Amino acid sequence: MRSLVGDEEDLTGWCNLTDILRFRRAADLVVSEDNAIDAATRCLAGSTLVEVADGKIRRRTPVAVEDSTLGFRTVYVEPIGNANLDAVRAVFERVGKVDLVRIPKRGDQYRPFAFVEYADQDAARQACATFDGASLFDNVVSRVITRFEWAALRTRWNDLLNNPIASTRRASKTTRKTNSNDSAGVARCHKRPRLAAPAPSPQPI
């Protein structure tokens, strides 16, 4: 679909309707190839998702472009105690401009952590250096890392939960290797000394 829209620098999002009609589900909207464009235009005239004009089609609401720096501009902080959005923002605005503060919820309960999105990466790095290990909320030491680091730790933790056997095998292998080295050392310590060969008997003259 990206190739149909055109150059990435083109922000209009228009693509030819004839290209869309090549897809089977779109082709089912038309009666025949002779009036395919007109039929598709009439079918999509009342759509709230797309708009059609001059034989072209595009989304009414453009797809948001993913920000590759978001994971480095956002910091994860826990625990936050009973702090609300304003309290969290007030703390983290000390080192830079905060664009967004989010405290996730599970059901009706807020989670004990928050995400703070900064306007730039330098402010996020400064927040980690300044606030990690500090008593921020309710006199409890907080952990502050970038969201990128948090995501990596979460992935590793999920891997351990989903595949505990592999983790146990790795731990057992390390233990066996350690025990083997210890046994070898004990064996060397208790190795019997080699007895000297008996002196030869004197030969008669």
pLDDT tens-digit map of 69-124: 788 899 999 999 889 999 999 999 999 999 999 999 888 888 999 999 999 999 99
Whose tokens are 């480095």? That residue is 72
For residue 9, pLDDT beyond 50: no
Tokens of 182: 């210890």
What average pLDDT does the segment 63-73 reach? Answer: 73
CATH topology of domain 70-152: Alpha-Beta Plaits (3.30.70)
**Spans of all domains in the chain:** 2-59, 70-152
Cα-Cα-Cα-Cα dihedral sign, residues 152, 154, 159, 165: positive
> b/e string for 163-191 if b means 16 or more Cβ within 10 A?
eeeeeeeeeeeeeeeeeeeeeeeeeeeee
The length of the chain, given as a count of residues: 205
pTM for the predicted model, two decimal places = 0.49
CA–CA distance, 29 with 112 (Å, rounded to integer): 50
Classify residue 155 as exposed, middle or buried by CB count within 10 Å of its CB (0-12, 13-18, 19+): exposed
- 164-194: per-residue pLDDT in tens? 665 555 555 555 555 555 555 555 555 555 5
Separation in Å, CA 192 to CA 34, 100, 185, 187, 195: 100, 73, 14, 9, 9
CA–CA distance, 115 with 98 (Å, rounded to integer): 11
* 31, containing H or E segment: none
Radius of gyration of the chain (CA): 34
CA–CA distance, 36 with 183 (Å, rounded to integer): 82
